[in-house]
Amino acid sequence: MKKILKTVVLIVFAVLVLGFIVIQFFRPDFTNPPIDPAATLTANVEVPENVKTILDRSCRDCHTNETQYPWYAKIQPSAWFLKDHIDKGRREVNFSTWSALTPARRKRKLSEVCEQVQNREMPLPSYLWIHRDAALSDADIKTLCDWTEAARAKMSE
């Protein structure tokens, strides 16, 4: 009986290890799309240096085409989760392709930026587990919201 149990445990373990090895061959494509410097947020909206610092630190990896990939982007299945967040994040708002948005959508996206950080929905909590320095302080949130408000007001002029 004990022998059977041992064999079963060994087989399950072997299958898991094999599965882990096999999925390593299914790597997502992490090539960053090219960037048109004239199309970016900073080329189209005035972004003060302190705001840019926050966006770079806390949002860039999922909302631009300048994603910097961590070491675990090379390991499945974590790479698949990353890929999913980056694709969805870019689809929602991509600061690298800002000029593709209509003026009305630009204004909406700016207010969503403030809303998301105020509700502490962004940066994604799972991102903060590892990127602890990306967490926003109350002062950071105020800086972002003051900026989005000012930028929106300018667009209405």
15 or 87, CB closer to ligand HEC? 87
The CB-based long-range contact list for 22-27 (8 Å cut-off, 24+ gap) reads 23/76, 23/77, 24/75, 24/76, 26/76, 27/74, 27/76, 27/79
Q: Give the helix ranges, DSSP H, for 24-137.
A: 41-44, 49-58, 60-63, 78-92, 103-118, 125-130
Residue 139 beta carbon to ligand HEC: minimum distance, rounded to whole angstroms: 13
**Does 122 contact ligand HEC by CB under 6 A?**
yes
Type of residue at 17: V
**Does 92 contact ligand HEC by CB under 6 A?**
yes
Q: Which stretch binds ligand HEC (CB under 6 A): 42-50, 96-104, 117-125, 147-155?
A: 117-125
**Per-residue tokens: 78:** 């974590």
Q: Which stretch binds ligand HEC (CB under 6 A): 24-32, 40-48, 71-79, 112-120?
A: 112-120
The verdict on whether omega for the bond into residue 123 sits within 30 degrees of 0, i.e. cis, is yes
Residue 153 beta carbon to ligand HEC: minimum distance, rounded to whole angstroms: 18
| Cα–Cα distance, 10 to 14 (Å, whole number) | 6
Interactions with ligand HEC, residue window 50-69 (CB under 6 A)? 58-59, 61-63
Residue 38 beta carbon to ligand HEC: minimum distance, rounded to whole angstroms: 22
**Per-residue tokens: 56:** 């770079």
Among 75, 97, 112, 135, binds ligand HEC (CB under 6 A): 112
Which residues of this chain interact with ligand HEC, rule CB under 6 A? 58-59, 61-63, 85, 88-89, 92-93, 112-113, 116-117, 122-124, 127
